[in-house]
Amino acid sequence: MRFERWLLCVATALSFPLSALAAGTLDKIKASRTISLGYREASIPFSYTGDDNQPWGYSVDLCTRVAAAIVKQLGLEELQLQWVPVTPETRVAKLKSGAIDLECGSTTSSLARMQEVDFSLLTFVDGGSYLTRKASGIKRLDDLAGKRIAVAAGTTSERTIAEALTQHQVGAQLVKVSDHQQGLAAMVQGKVDAYASDRSLLIGLALDSGNQSDWVLGPETFSYEPYALMMRRNDADFRLAVNRELARLSRSREIYTIYDRWFGYLAKPGVKLESVYFLNGLPE
């Protein structure tokens, strides 16, 4: 009798995680006919709010393609895209809580983050640097000694700029801000002397400022930032659906059309990004 009760308890305990896994993101999307996509409001040109108050950007385009592929996979007649704004500090929490199903921003895929969330195939490769006003006279990292540097809280840049300053023995004060626009505004207002982030994001901020000639991008690249779409952990079916579309975009070379739309005015993909696109082209 005691043995039978133990078997029943084990079976009951095992049923909970199995049922939870069965009700994955694809099941949630199919039942609700909705996919919730997280986006950044000021991560130009990856993910930002446009003049029409709608999400735009390279990562937004990728997520839109993924959503269209999921529609076909699930045999849905329509799928509502629910766009949810996130910040560096809220993106992981909103993903884990179910407020969003997929984050379409400029998030670095890191081992530390993989303890909490999962990532798609890589979507972009970038590196950390800093932006300053031309009038400041700052031309290299050493010139930041004694200066105030803004950095968005909750980003990998918060760690990598601190490590770069320590490595080069540059004494500077880091000032945490909530997002990229706040960092740029702090420079315009003279509250800080530089803003640290990923190079492509800094270029996007400068181009969007309307006064591109006022800014200088630091020559150093002090980190490796591999971007990917972020999703909940332990959902292999949903991850496969996302990766299947990203792989198709690489195989068909449609990814280059998306790249040119957002970065063609800067340059063609570099060697590292070309390698990412090639390696992403997994066969079916």
Q: Which residue has the higher pLDDT, 263 or 244?
A: 244
The pLDDT value given to residue 206: 86
Yes or no: is domain 128-217 CATH 3.30.420.40?
no
pLDDT digits (tens, 9 = 90+) for 28-58: 999 999 999 999 998 999 999 999 999 999 9
Q: Which residue has the higher pLDDT, 266 or 36?
A: 36
Is pLDDT at 244 greater than 90 in this prediction? Answer: yes
pLDDT digits (tens, 9 = 90+) for 88-111: 999 999 999 999 999 999 999 999
The pLDDT value given to residue 203: 86
The pLDDT value given to residue 263: 86
Lowest mean pLDDT among 2-6, 189-193, 254-258: 2-6
Report residue 266's pLDDT band, with 50, 70 and 90 as the boundaries: low
pLDDT digits (tens, 9 = 90+) for 140-150: 999 999 999 99
pLDDT digits (tens, 9 = 90+) for 207-221: 888 777 889 999 888
Cα-based distances in Å from 117 to 99, 124, 231? 14, 18, 6
Proportion of the chain above pLDDT 70, given as a percent: 91
Report residue 280's pLDDT band, with 50, 70 and 90 as the boundaries: very high
Report residue 204's pLDDT band, with 50, 70 and 90 as the boundaries: confident
pLDDT digits (tens, 9 = 90+) for 54-84: 999 999 999 999 999 999 999 999 999 999 9
Task: Tell me whether domains 24-125+226-280 and 128-217 share a fold.
Answer: yes
Mean pLDDT computed over 239-254: 98
The pLDDT value given to residue 9: 38
The pLDDT value given to residue 5: 36
The residues near 162 (Cβ < 8 Å, ≥ 6 apart) are 174
The pLDDT value given to residue 211: 79
Yes or no: is domain 24-125+226-280 CATH 3.40.50.720?
no
Is pLDDT at 189 greater than 50 in this prediction? Answer: yes
Is pLDDT at 265 greater than 80 in this prediction? Answer: no
Rounded to 10 deg, the angle between the 25-32 and 58-74 helix axes is: 80
Mean pLDDT of the chain: 90
**Spatial strand order in the sheet of 118-126:** 80-86, 34-40, 102-104, 225-231, 118-126
pLDDT digits (tens, 9 = 90+) for 8-24: 333 333 333 434 334 69
Domain edges within the chain: 24-125+226-280, 128-217
Is pLDDT at 117 greater than 50 in this prediction? Answer: yes
Degrees, nearest 5: CA angle 183-187-189: 115
